[in-house]
Each structure stands twice: as structure tokens, then as C-alpha cells.
Amino acid sequence: APAFLLVAIGNLIIILTNRLGRIIDRSRVLLNRPAEIQNDPEVIQEIADLHHRRIFIYFAIMFAVIGALLVCLVIAGAFIGALLNARLAEIVAGLFVLTMLFLVIAWTLFLREIYLSIRIGPPPPKHPPKP
């Protein structure tokens, strides 16, 4: 089962790195515009929003990678325990719980980045236009 978890974490990391790439590409587009456009308040705000999104994605990737490394330690601990008849069950269980904690943090950061990405742009009108 931990091997399947490792595959799932790998897929999460792929999703996160794709989003990070899009954020970086959009930032480069905005920063390569002429200076008078870069000084537009909306452009400045979008660059700031992209910066915040980039930070959340970066930390989500970091926590997901640490989670993947912990899964590797879980697998190694299980094999070492079986091969050497060592009592590593508590250590393996602790590593697994730690893995879940890191993954919860990674998913939470991912959700926060998604929230930031959908709130970018002008706010919706408070009242529908009258016909």
C-alpha cells in the first residue's frame, strides 16, 4: 500500500509543478511588458497575487516531497524489520503518521493556492444590473 501512496504523491507533485510553471510563465509575461504597463495598479496587484500563489505552491511541493521521502522510509523500515526480525513497527507507524501530516499540509497549501487563483480579478458586482 505505501507504494501506491508514493505514486499518488508523485501525481500531486506533477500537478503542483504544472501550476508553478503556469504562475512563473504568467509572471514573466507581466514583467516583460513596457514599464508604463507594469506600473498599472492592476498589473502590480496581479504580480503580487502571483507571488503569493508561488509561495503557497512552493511550500506545497516541499511538504509533498518530504511526505514522499517519508513513505520511502516507511517502505525501507518495513523491509528492514522483516529481513532482520527487528521490531520497527512503532517507528514505521510513526513515520506513516508523519507522512500523513505532511500530506495534509501539502493539500491544505494547494487548496489555499486554488482559492487565491480564483479570487484574482475584479470583484463581482454587488447588485445585478437593472434592465
pLDDT of residue 34: 84
Using only C-alpha atoms, the chain has a radius of gyration, in whole angstroms, of 21
Nearest one of 9, 5, 4 to 64, comparing CA atoms = 9
pLDDT digits (tens, 9 = 90+) for 108-124: 999 999 999 987 656 66
Is the pLDDT assigned to residue 68 strictly greater than 80?
Answer: yes
Q: What is the mean pLDDT of residues 90-119?
A: 95
User: pLDDT class for 71, splitting at 50, 70, 90?
Assistant: very high
| Residue 70 contacts residue 103 (beta carbons within 8 Å) | no
Q: CA 71 from chain center: how many Å?
A: 18
pTM for this model (two decimals): 0.84
| Residue 55 contacts residue 113 (beta carbons within 8 Å) | no
Q: What is the mean pLDDT of residues 1-28?
A: 94
Q: How buried is residue 28: exposed, middle or buried, by Cβ count under 10 Å (0-12/13-18/19+)?
A: exposed
Q: Give residue limits of the domains in the chain.
A: 2-119
